[in-house]
Structure 1
Amino acid sequence: MIRLAPELGGRRESGRIRRLRQMLRDLGKRVPVSQRFRDGLEHAAMSTAAALAAYLPTQALGLREGFWAAITAISVVQSEFGATRTTARDQFVGAAIGGVIGVAVVLVTGQTLLSYALSAGLSVLCAWLFNVASAARLAGITATIILLVPHPGTSAQHMMLSRVTEVSWGVTVAIAIVWLVARLDRRTRP
């Protein structure tokens, strides 16, 4: 039996692939608690280090809402460097698309509920059109931040630049932390 699989972007998935995916899930459940604890502890340490390293210098960098850098760093950190790079790309591209579209819509139509709906929808659509569907939800989230988060005394353009800068900083820190851990891990393992 063949069905459409959302994980494969709508491409057909064979029964064999489905069974292999289920076997991987089952294997993951059989990992001993001690190994899950070690893996979880390592991931928690990386996430915490990345969040702190992303947040602490934000005031000195002129970023008023450094928590966005910390949130981004936590969401980008993955157990493997390749997965971290992919997530980082999605975060940056999604923020850029959502930010640019959010500002453009505000400049053309003003800041209304209809403008929000338009910018969120266009952001998701553009991510798909640029062939980065994995960044679509992040584009919509950034458009939401631009249009729905109050920012008195700050223009939408300034808010967009701030968000993209904060996301970029969080992405950079997360990549650096995971890269460093991967390098150290290779040196300490036989």
Structure 2
Amino acid sequence: MEPGLSVVRQLAVGSPGRWQGILRALLTTAAALIAYVPTQTLGLQEGFWAAITAIAVTQGEWRLTRTTARDQLLGAAIGGLVALAMVLAVGRHLWSYGLAVGVAAVCCALVRLPAAGRLSGITATIVLLVPSGIYSAGDIAFWRVSEVAWGVIVAVSLVWIVERFREWVGGGRGTLR
């Protein structure tokens, strides 16, 4: 076996310690950059949310990545919808903000996604508390959910590709433990 191929195989099939840490760092970095770079072209206003989401979603294995992605995306969508409804119904106030965070978390719990509740509160906070300037609450909610969705798509796609590669090289062992 060629020396270079040995390193690739070690990275791909789960060698201990530092190689796995290096691979995860490279994967997370790639996800962040790929999520951030095209955001202006995609029309997203605050592309850093896509990068942050990609970093948060990128996990060491497909199952965890998929679960985290679901929680991020549904949490953002629920938080955005609840916050938008609150702004349209009663406006932006401290009490409406608090109510929106609580209602969004309860909605997530009711659909059996309690981890998404924390994330719904983040989106509700962005919609209700971040100064909007010339943009409506609807615009802010839409962009936030779109940015999260883009970050999720990038992270899930990269982890899926890396796992398929690892299975191909390593004979079925696909996780990045």
TM-score bracket for this pair, using the shorter chain length: 0.7 to 0.9
Partner residue in 2 for 1:37: 18
The list of structure 1 runs, each at least 4 consecutive aligned residues, that deviate by more than 2 angstroms after superposition, is none
Per the TM alignment, residue 64 of structure 1 is displaced from its structure 2 partner at its CA by 1.4
Per the TM alignment, residue 36 of structure 1 is displaced from its structure 2 partner at its CA by 2.5
Partner residue in 1 for 2:7: none
Q: Which amino acid is the alignment partner of residue 183 of structure 1?
A: R
Partner residue in 1 for 2:9: none
- One of 129, 147, 154 as aligned partner of 2:110: 129
- One of 160, 170, 173 as aligned partner of 2:154: 173
1:86-165 alignment runs, 5 A limit = 86-165=67-146
Mapped pair 1:50 → 2:17: no
TM-score, normalising length: structure 2? 0.86
Structure 1 unpaired stretches of 5+: 1-33
TM-score, normalising length: structure 1? 0.80
* In structure 2, distance between residues paired with 1:113 and 1:36: 47
Q: RMSD between aligned alpha carbons?
A: 1.0
Q: Residue deviations 1:42-77, cap 9 Å, x none?
A: 111111101111100000000111000000000000
Per the TM alignment, residue 167 of structure 1 is displaced from its structure 2 partner at its CA by 0.4
Per the TM alignment, residue 35 of structure 1 is displaced from its structure 2 partner at its CA by 2.5
User: Which structure is higher in RCO with an 8 Å CA cutoff and minimum separation 6?
Assistant: 2
Per the TM alignment, residue 40 of structure 1 is displaced from its structure 2 partner at its CA by 1.3
Partner residue in 2 for 1:77: 58
* In structure 2, distance between residues paired with 1:119 and 1:38: 44
Structure 2 unpaired stretches of 5+: 1-14, 172-177
* In structure 2, distance between residues paired with 1:39 and 1:134: 27
Per the TM alignment, residue 88 of structure 1 is displaced from its structure 2 partner at its CA by 0.4
Out of 67-76 and 130-139, give the one that drifted further: 130-139
* In structure 2, distance between residues paired with 1:151 and 1:180: 38
Per the TM alignment, residue 131 of structure 1 is displaced from its structure 2 partner at its CA by 1.2
* In structure 1, distance between residues paired with 2:97 and 2:147: 22
* In structure 2, distance between residues paired with 1:76 and 1:150: 27
Per the TM alignment, residue 78 of structure 1 is displaced from its structure 2 partner at its CA by 0.4
* In structure 2, distance between residues paired with 1:42 and 1:152: 41
Per the TM alignment, residue 103 of structure 1 is displaced from its structure 2 partner at its CA by 0.5
Per the TM alignment, residue 134 of structure 1 is displaced from its structure 2 partner at its CA by 1.7
* In structure 2, distance between residues paired with 1:153 and 1:178: 37
Per the TM alignment, residue 183 of structure 1 is displaced from its structure 2 partner at its CA by 0.9
Q: Which amino acid is the alignment partner of residue 38 of structure 1?
A: W
**What number of residue pairs does the alignment pair up?**
157
Q: Which amino acid is the alignment partner of residue 45 of structure 1?
A: L
* In structure 2, distance between residues paired with 1:165 and 1:63: 7
Q: Which amino acid is the alignment partner of residue 30 of structure 2?
A: A
